[in-house]
Chain A
């Protein structure tokens, strides 16, 4: 069974940093591109970042480019999102999601809440 479990969320002050993790199991992690998608309270889904299976290709939404860094450790079956210079508008539930052939997101974790507030 495919499982994605996010962790690392919490309350952080504006300008602060946070590192999210996503532990994957039940599939060959190193064979899939992975993504982070976020959802602000009461709002819709927003794609944040994507990383290819070997980390060769990395993409970011314009809203986080230069502040967030996606990475992965295939030996540890883990995906990460380093978030720096956090803003109030980054407050959201952050989901990790597995890409299927690059065209859709087939499996999602349960999400971790990030709150940016003073």
Chain B
């Protein structure tokens, strides 16, 4: 099973909104509402930002939102801030036992 497809990089100016796409198949993204998004700053562990397509864990800013249409999920960051500059990975539960979780290729978000 291949990694989910994300754009390599997305950039925006402070205050703007950006959207990161995550494309999979009907065996993962399209088949389940189990898409999650992780933020990773350099040298740090990934941090959960969105789970089950559109839910935010406690403590995560409401500037982060998620959605899904068919086999493509999206993460939108509104009111972009300097601290949002990081790598972002989507992930999905899969219908296969291996891999149990498939991750996206990762997107570097740059705040201009």
| A interface, CB within 8 angstroms of B | 35, 37, 44-47, 50, 59-62, 65, 95, 100, 102-111
Give the total of B residues in contact with A, Cβ under 8 Å.
26
- Asked if residues A47 and B48 are in contact (CB atoms below 8 Å), the reply is no
- Asked if residues A95 and B48 are in contact (CB atoms below 8 Å), the reply is no
Return 11 A-B CB contacts under 8 Å, by A number.
A37-B46, A37-B103, A45-B46, A45-B103, A46-B103, A59-B97, A105-B46, A106-B51, A109-B45, A110-B44, A110-B45
- Asked if residues A108 and B34 are in contact (CB atoms below 8 Å), the reply is no
Distance of A35 Cα from B52 Cα, bound (Å):
18
B30 within 8 A of A: no
Label chain A's interface by main secondary structure.
Answer: strand
| B interface, CB within 8 angstroms of A | 3, 32, 34, 36, 38, 44-48, 51-52, 57, 89, 91, 93, 97-106
* B44 to A: closest C-beta gap in Å: 8
- Asked if residues A44 and B51 are in contact (CB atoms below 8 Å), the reply is no
A111: which B residues are within 8 A, CB to CB? 45
Distance of A104 Cα from B38 Cα, bound (Å):
10
* B30 to A: closest C-beta gap in Å: 15
* A48 to B: closest C-beta gap in Å: 9
